[in-house]
Amino acid sequence: MITKSVKKLSGSIPSSENLPIRYDAYVPHPAQEMIRPVIFLHGFKGFKDWGPFPDACYDIASEGFLVIAINLSHNGVGESLTDFDQPDLFRTQTISQDVNDVGRVIEALRESEIDLGDSMPDVENIGIIGHSRGGHTAVVCAAEYSEISTLITWSAVSDYQKFFSEKMIKDWADKGVTEIVNSRTGQVLHLDKSALDDVVENAGRILAKNRVSQLQIPCCFIHGSNDEAVPLSHVNELYRLCPSPEKDKLVIQGAGHTFGASHPFDDHAFPLHFERLVSETINWLETYLK
């Protein structure tokens, strides 16, 4: 492994709706030409600064990759970076817009809209990593954007429509909105029926199980055996439907949905399962993105 020093450069780019997509660019030093970018996606009720995500991005960048961690434009986290201080945006989130946000990031890399110091990205060879719903989105984006040349999912969902409960669907039918409780803080957020409409109307484009069958790029699906939020059936389905000749399914025994990590994260070392997750991620990128 090649360990480099890393500089974090932060900013934002406008989404297709002219909303900010906030980013942290973890840039290896010294500057490199044609460095391979890796886009990192958080999940539902997640954000780029959650728990040890920034430390994981730093570690991946220290091995010579340009890591771009983003807050999706409708994730509901604004300038605070860690609080859901924009509930109006959370309320109107859709998977389609998440996919469009990733497309904007790729475009911004191509057009030098993202501050990378003196480094020059290889925009034709991009890796993408996503956790939970972010993994679902990453699968879709890997099929949607030809610039993405390898995929890694962490605890990914294969069919997000399965996470709409009967109560949520009834709320949407009766009131057009349903409540989402942040279990960590107790904050009550709202989600409009547009989230359901988007999945129903655009299932062919935005459901991971429908797009993974189009992937011929190297794909690594990582999951915890004790995932309490996303059953193993999801990773099994993604792996089974993926036709790539270079694919792997890694189940980390004993790991839960966040691989032992939590927010806030103040420890000096990763939890054991999360450390394994980051190590396997780096190994995959070194094999298939360099």
Q: Give the model confidence (pLDDT) of 208-249 as tens digits.
A: 999 999 999 999 999 999 999 999 999 999 999 999 999 999
Helix (H, G, I), strand (E, B) or coil at 10: strand
The pLDDT > 90 percentage for the chain reads: 96
The reported pLDDT for the residue numbered 71 is 98
pLDDT, tens digit (0-9, with 9 covering 90-100), for 28-50: 998 888 999 999 999 999 999 99
Q: DSSP secondary structure string, 66-125?
A: EEEEEE-TTSS--TTSSS---HHHHHT--HHHHHHHHHHHHHHHHTT-S--TT-EE-TTS
pLDDT, tens digit (0-9, with 9 covering 90-100), for 70-105: 999 999 999 999 999 999 999 999 999 999 999 999
CATH code for the structural domain at 5-159+203-288: 3.40.50.1820
pLDDT, tens digit (0-9, with 9 covering 90-100), for 111-166: 999 999 999 999 999 999 999 999 999 999 999 999 999 999 999 999 999 999 99
Query: pTM of the entire structure?
Result: 0.97
